[in-house]
Amino acid sequence: MTKSLQDKVIIVTGAGRGIGREIALLCAAEGAKVVVNDPGGAADGAGANAAPAEEVVEEIKKRGGTAVANFESVAEAIPASKIVKTATDHFGRLDGVVNNAGILRDMIFHKMSVEAFEAVIKVHLMGSFYVSHAAARIFREQESGSFVHFTSTSGLIGNFGQANYAAAKLGIVGLSKSIALDMGRFNVRSNCVSPFAWTRMIGTIPTETDAEKARVEKIKQMGPEKIAPLCGYLLGDSAKDVTGQIFGVRMNEIFLFSQNRPIRSVQRNEGWTPQSIAEHGMPALKGSFYKLDRSADIFTWDPV
């Protein structure tokens, strides 16, 4: 059987554990040469440890694949650019980037520290930009390449206690769409994936109430290996016409998410005043308002 990523060079950030690890393993199994990036920090980003990335590289080599470890942080521009340099130094080219690295610093909004907000933004949103920006020049010159960025239903729909994470993940959607628009002329693609999977990061979700415990038990059914095949597809040549999209993966389901478009409008020939908006405009629009839903309110069925 033909391998979908034969001889392609792929960077996977945050590849030492969880979803990133499974993506790296699948890419290597599909014939790619993989840069396994992970500084090895805790779920909140603290500390560093070379072992997670090194262990994934060893696993890939044991299975007959090709990989190299990188331990740089995506949260600063120069270290992030060194991840891309690792790919070109070791393998001479770059064909795909998976922006998977992430941390969590959950806290109800009025108690969230500035540091907790900025730290999450730097890893998720700025990190996705830094790595993508460094790779973009290579993709532009060779007129090919694929970005896979990770978003979340925390941003797409909503969740409690994750203003930092939700802001970063929705920002990534805008980043991905802009890359798709700006670089489409160079045959460069950019898509988002919203994963549902039990990982070390999801393990930080509170489980104090019976409802929270039940929710986490359902999430535990969804292994990170279920996310990898879609990412492998998006990195391959068979996805050459797929760009600017937002996908979700939940066990054996793949979703295509909607994107923001106008759904209703009101108009007055004489223009609006605050009073006429209150009397006419807003009552006319209210029937189409979105509720303050959380992800669990929308995905109400068990994983299949």
Return the active site residues: 165
**Beta bridge partners of residue 150, listed in sequence order:** 193
Cα distance between residue 135 and residue 116, in whole Å: 28
Q: Residue 302 carries which DSSP code?
A: P
Q: Is residue 162 within 8 Å of 111, Cβ to Cβ?
A: no
Cα distance between residue 121 and residue 99, in whole Å: 14
Q: Is residue 67 within 8 Å of 29, Cβ to Cβ?
A: no
Q: Is residue 127 within 8 Å of 13, Cβ to Cβ?
A: yes
Tokens of 115: 């540091």
Distances (CA, A) of 123 to 21, 191, 286: 18, 18, 37
Task: Report the SS3 class of residue 145.
Answer: strand
**Beta bridge partners of residue 194, listed in sequence order:** 248
